[in-house]
Amino acid sequence: MRVIPRGERRRAVFLPREGAGGSRDRKLGGMILPVRRTLAAVSLALLPFAAVAACSGEGATTECTIDSCTVTFDRGVEASASILGIKAELVGVDGDSVTLRIAGQQITVPREGEGEADGLSVGVESITQDQVVVKISRGGGEG
């Protein structure tokens, strides 16, 4: 036992607890839990970006949130988009009605109307000479 003279500063020594990893946990000390917390926080922070990145298209532009996507299809081309884990295609436009293929299921929806396909709610927001704007969201029905 060492006698510490008065006035000399004392330092506390913390020894890591032995965990399932044995000597490895002892070497890393208290760093395991903070690293796990940091990884979890980073994953949660990047989740919205992953949802947006999951939306893409040919002849179409997409704007997505976690549970819905607004797709602007170009008319006159084979337009499609991969959104919310499914493929959405513009089949055709007839007056004020739009025919789409959502996850292989064909559906016709009137302008400013709504329909349902593969458990998704499908709404036509606008139809112009050049483009068709459609909003597709989760929770449209039983599927």
Report residue 69 as tokens. 């996507």
Q: pTM for the full model?
A: 0.59
Note the pLDDT tens digit of each residue in 14-71. 555 555 555 554 555 555 556 666 665 555 554 444 444 456 677 899 999 888 999 9
Residue 21 neighbours by CB under 8 Å, 6+ apart:
28
| Pair 105, 96: CB distance under 8 Å | no
pLDDT of residue 52: 43
Q: Where are the domains of the chain?
A: 10-53, 55-138
Residue 129 neighbours by CB under 8 Å, 6+ apart:
75
Place of tokens 């008319």: 75
Mean pLDDT of 118-139: 92
